[in-house]
Amino acid sequence: SSEVLEAIENVIQGVLESLAQKKAPVLTVANRRDWRNIEFKDSVGLQMIPHCTTKQIRSDCPQSAPRFALMLKILSMIYKMVQSNTYATKRDIYYSDTLLFGSQSAVDSIINDISCMLKIPRRSLHILSTTKGFVAGNLSYTEEDGTKVNCTCSATVFTVPSNVQGIKNLISHAKFVLIVEKDATFQRLLDDDFFNKVSPCIMITGRGVPDLNTRLLVRKLWDSFQIPIFSLMDADPHGVEIMCVYKYGSVSMSFEAHHLTVPSIKWLGLLPSDLKRLNISKDALIPFTKQDENKLASVQKRPYIACQPLWKKELEIMAASKLKAEIQVLTSLSQDYLSRVYLPNKLQFGGWV
């Protein structure tokens, strides 16, 4: 915490020195969303280059002055929280003055800019993000406040903890982790008692694009148990992109890649090649929209696809067919095909890429 306080004090000192010299204070932040500032490393994923291009948030420019003021406001809130050892969610910060902040997305963006500017992970700034992910299966742990969580006993779903860094005493006999893209598929596998039938496993879902806590938990499970991690996504460009976020990270959070990515994640399904192999009827597939075509083209150009020849092949199959499928398409073969046939066969005989 002293490191955080010192980092904020240095920023404020810079502002005061500018004022003393009768200069307009400026805050300098990295261009987080610029691909030119990102490099790809096999072992880490997408990470920010050391000397990246920056942008200035000036206090004397009508366009950026409001953002400058909001950054100082949130810095002061962080400073007080770190001093008093209290925490707040991003929602708490927004609702402390909705008129001032204008929108939740403005708050989220400023918090990420501050984290990147100070080179301090967001959790250490005492800001928690609201969790939407779920976890179930063969896992027990103790939360920071001493609450014991045991996912192993039942088919109960537990919310991913809001302070993943603080959980300890992780115990599991799981043979693998299964990341499931969507809540509906996750619930279906729970109803079928999948994580007890095949072999003990941990199931986790970010319910679409994963939030920070879900990504942190996947990384924590990898660090703790070093067991295979498989992903089960829709066979569409959006599903592939979500899987890439877990595996290689996102451009906007590349400055935190070391804590968030798990490059060893395997793509278990639903593979575009599975659709042909299983003779899925064309009527059950969904034609691409223009948006799907653009998304797929953008994913195919990303630096990490070049080092994944098997992924590249799958994406080419998808691009050629211009058809996509949700995991639910497997119910056209039989109601419990996913948990009874598809996943057990893949896990036993190795059908992942």
Catalytically annotated residues: 95
Of 79, 88, 76, 31, the C-alpha closest to 255 is 31
Rounded CA separation 262/248 (Å): 7
**Number of neighbours of residue 3 by Cβ within 10 angstroms:** 11
Angstrom CA distances, 144 to 128, 141, 169, 220, 282, stand at 13, 10, 10, 15, 50
Rounded CA separation 92/126 (Å): 12
Both tokens assigned to 6: 């010192």
Ramachandran region of residue 10, left (φ > 0), alpha (ψ -120 to 50) or beta? alpha
Angstrom CA distances, 14 to 18, 53, 64, 353, stand at 6, 20, 18, 50
Partnered with residue 230 across adjacent β-strands are 178, 266
**Number of neighbours of residue 41 by Cβ within 10 angstroms:** 14
Rounded CA separation 315/301 (Å): 11
Q: Residues 212, 122: contact at Cβ < 8 Å? A: yes
Helices and strands (DSSP H and E) totals, the chain: 15, 17
